[in-house]
Structure 1
């Protein structure tokens, strides 16, 4: 079967690209152009016509990629035509009438690339991330993953486990042979080290933050200027600003980019002993959001009673990486609390803009430093996390069994389970069962 799809966004445009892949690709080009397919990887100007009527449709560039040297590892072609809606619809209609062709499903081109060994599942997921990237950091992370950085890391772990398992099985199967003593037990230290490495990788949230946005909560007492601070940061009136305490009852979220990293800035209700039921619910949500945030901006204002942590509750207490923002410095200067480091304290005025450039620069730097790209590839998807957690559980169980003196056969089985879970991430095992999950959200034509 040969599939085809529009690979550029639908609608009016200067150029549209239609992709075709499968065993009928060359024959389809001959039917559309009345000529043999162009030489592989050489663009050729051709008139594309309706094979049934001979009516010309458009003149455009035709490229032919011969198997296995194509994106899908099958014969593949691209038709670069004018982007008029009528032209695209007419050509897609013609393709639908040709025998042996059908429209591609979402992600089917990349799915074929995986099935044909052109890439692993982590690289396929990175293709989708490249298409969806909105910031430079997202693009860079997706590109590194598409080049195989994450897949290589996971495959190296799987190979280390395979080597350890081989030593264990040698100790089990050839116990009566003249092998070095304790050859199986000797590899358990390597397994423990690898398990620690996997656990550290799971705890690293940089990949999630780059894909979904760093969560930043603006918290503090009522009427300290939290909404004004949000509006200044995003450059528009995203939140209602009022001198009346308790104006913000629910969480106001705004997406922006800080230090090249996507971020979600949340303005929360003022934290205080609330009077009515609605405000109490707002305070509850504020505390919950503060406890879940990656970074908290603890906002106070001139004239407030000094607090050591910016709020009066443990759930939103000052933590490493947070920033203390003393607002309304146009009224008077706030003294830095003694246990807040000077690098974490900023006196600003959201009204006049005083001190804001230094604060914004520090916020950008903090986001970039804590959640930007690092040399080591980061965990990016929930699917990976679930598999790695299962692998870590199996390895921990195996190490406990070995330490308690249980049979090495049980330890070896735990290593096999861990290898299998890691292999599921890249598609080294059970690839067919994972394809629908991986390609569910792909766009058609990719």
Structure 2
């Protein structure tokens, strides 16, 4: 009831005729600008000799590129592979016999016209096709992550899905692959959007009460329902943040220090788990003098094992230094903030939670509405709807050229 007393003052403060902005959709606040009109090309498969190499283009000149190399044939049917002989458009010299595919926008990975050339993977063939594409007017080599950035700019991927794609490319274990695939499939982004919908609905109700008050037949108990839904959202955010460290550890890998007294079997355990002779095993105490590290896959979970010197009073300066390094590695695993798969996820969820706290403490409806706008903005940043160019640059530079 206390909020009803503040509604007239808040409405007066807004001034006559003032109206709030409409709620944005999935891409409503997106700041990444679409491509400047250039068509990009790159080798999308791995470097080195292979059976098949995939070279692709994205942009308005993709159709021209395909016709230039496969002339005089027409474009193949959309999303259907055709065997074509590729020639250098400058000299007419044959380059390869390849499968070509045509993906007209917006039904492509980037949302633009795209073409793919599945050529034989020899370095000379790949180099020849890339040079030929570079001679087509309007084409230029792609920068790292530029294909994915265009997909994001055209609303094909949210920012959390982009991060899931990056994690999938770098996944080394089954557990990492599963987590990355779930994020790429949009589970985290969809959860954030549901949270954002809750905040948007609450904000709409609060602002409606500011605009119309209780004299315009508003539904009874509107603000009480808002409070109830936001309390549930607070609980959900808190629970998610408490579990955040698991996702970050799975993505980055756990750092496990094997420590104990001399001749306790530390080196034998490390060799067994890594399935290779990483450490020298000897009945003589003090064999391990330095910290030896090896990456292992423990039932699908990545870990970095550190074999350390036995924890005892060293008999010489070298062994004493080994013991000191071992003790330096049994640091407190609880240090540092809890994380999701990225530190920025944690930051924005904490920011949203803090804004919801300000909502509860607000002395009038105008301040309560502003707190909800801040909470909504943090959730928008999570999926990239309100991202800044600096943050996007950091995320996309982790991608390889061709992706």
TM-score band, normalised by shorter chain: 0.7 to 0.9
2: distance between equivalents of 1:208 and 1:444?
Answer: 25
> 1:21-420 residue pairs with structure 2 within 5 A?
21-34=58-71, 35-177=73-215, 178-179=217-218, 183-184=222-223, 186-204=225-243, 205-272=245-312, 282-283=322-323, 285-287=325-327, 289-293=329-333, 379-399=340-360, 401-402=361-362, 406-420=363-377
Q: Secondary structure at the match of 1:62?
A: strand
User: Higher relative contact order at CA 8 Å, sep ≥6: structure 1 or structure 2?
Assistant: 2
Contact 1:170 1:184 survives alignment (8 Å): no
Report the more deviating stretch, 81-90 or 177-186. Answer: 177-186
Are the structure 2 counterparts of residues 277 and 382 from structure 1 closer, same or farther at C-alpha, using a change threshold of 3 Å?
farther
CA RMSD, Structure 1 to Structure 2 (Å)? 2.5
Q: Using the TM superposition, give the Cα deviation of residue 291 of structure 1 relative to its aligned residue in structure 2, in angstroms.
A: 4.2
Deviations 1:332-362 (A, max 9, x none): xxxxxxxxxxxxxxxxxxxxxxxxxxxxxxx
- 2:90·2:135 contact (CA, 8 Å) conserved in 1? no
- Which 5+ residue runs of structure 2 have no aligned equivalent? 1-37
- 1:1-16 equivalent positions in 2, closer than 5 A: 1-16=38-53
Separation in 1, partners of 2:140, 2:187: 34
Partner secondary structure for residue 254 of structure 1: strand
- Residue matched to 2:10: none
Q: Is the 8 A contact 1:2 1:102 kept in 2?
A: yes
Structure 1 stretches lacking a partner, 5+ long: 295-314, 316-377
Cα–Cα, structure 1 residues 239 and 425, in superposed 2: closer, same or farther, change >3 Å?
Answer: same
Contact kept, 8 Å, 2:68 with 2:136, in 1: the verdict is: no
SS of the counterpart of 1:175? helix
- Cα drift, residue 59 of structure 1: 1.2
Gap change, CA 1:166 and 1:96, over 3 Å in 2 = same
Q: 1:74 to 1:168 in 2, by over 3 A?
A: same
Contact 1:107 1:439 in 2 (8 A): yes
How far has the Cα of 1:111 moved from its partner? 0.9
8 A Cα contact 1:217 1:293, kept in partner: no
Give the count of matched residue pairs. Answer: 360
Report which stretch shifted further, 249-258 or 283-292: 283-292
Q: Is the 8 A contact 2:295 2:303 kept in 1?
A: yes
Q: Specify which of 435, 438, 443 is matched with residue 392 of structure 2.
A: 435
Give the Cα separation in 2 of the matches to 1:423 and 1:249: 51
Change (3 A) 1:279 1:421: farther
In 2, the alpha carbon distance for the partners of 1:91 and 1:235 equals: 42
- Aligned partners of 2:211, 2:324: CA distance in 1, in Å? 60
TM-score by length of 2: 0.82
TM-score, length-normalised on structure 1? 0.74
1:285 deviates by 4.8
Change (3 A) 1:436 1:181: same
How far apart are residue 136 of structure 1 and its match?
Answer: 1.3
| Residue number among 41, 54, 75 corresponding to 1:17 in the alignment | 54
Q: C-alpha separation between the residues in 2 aligned to 1:288 and 1:156? A: 44
1:206 is displaced (CA, Å) by 2.2
Alpha-carbon separation, structure 1, partners of 2:106 and 2:247: 33
Closer, same or farther: CA 398–253 of 1 in aligned 2, 3 Å:
farther
